[in-house]
């Protein structure tokens, strides 16, 4: 147990770890992507794709920011979710994409939605050699 002072000065005991908080962190390295080339270099196309897939997965976007590096350069971007986040980075010269999907929620288990989003991103980028790490968090 750990003690913390509340805003009114009272001291309360709180567990070091939160109560059950179902979370899932999916981390992907997509090598040899065979997707539509726009999805490697076009900031607007990638942002639209990510926002569409987030909504189709049943998750809630609250903001997004994507940056294109110009010409045939890659794109880096993030969709902030009410449930946590999606981040994505492309390297078109290497046909390589990194994807990070993390969800957590006190009131419901969004792990299936995270998997649905991650699988849809993999289907869109069509990696020949996907490397995926799945971390249960809580």
- Based on the residue annotation, tell me whether 35 is a catalytic residue of this protein: no
Whether the CA torsion 45, 47, 48, 53 is positive or negative: it is positive
Q: Which is the catalytic residue, given 104, 108, 131, 134? A: 104
Beta bridge partners of 66: 77
Q: How many CA atoms lie less than 13 Å away from 85 in the CB half-sphere?
A: 11
Distance between CA atoms of residues 103 and 109, nearest Å: 9
Distance between CA atoms of residues 47 and 109, nearest Å: 26
Closest CA to 76 of 84, 85, 65: 65
Q: Which is the catalytic residue, given 50, 84, 85, 95? A: 84
- Based on the residue annotation, tell me whether 84 is a catalytic residue of this protein: yes
Q: Which is the catalytic residue, given 25, 35, 89, 134? A: 89
Residues with a catalytic annotation lie at: 84, 89, 104
């Amino acid at each position: 147990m750990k003690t913390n002072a509340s805003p009114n000065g009272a001291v309360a005991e709180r567990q070091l770890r939160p109560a059950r908080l179902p979370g899932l962190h999916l981390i992907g390295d997509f090598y040899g992507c065979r997707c539509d080339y726009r999805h490697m270099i076009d900031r607007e196309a990638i942002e639209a794709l990510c926002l569409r897939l987030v909504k189709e997965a049943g998750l809630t976007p609250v903001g997004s920011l994507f940056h294109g590096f110009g010409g045939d350069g890659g794109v880096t971007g993030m969709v902030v979710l009410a449930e946590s986040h999606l981040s994505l980075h492309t390297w078109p010269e290497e046909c390589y994409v990194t994807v990070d999907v993390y969800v957590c929620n006190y009131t419901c288990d969004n792990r299936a939605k995270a998997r649905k989003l991650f699988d849809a991103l993999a289907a869109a980028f069509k990696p020949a050699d996907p490397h995926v790490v799945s971390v249960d968090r809580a």
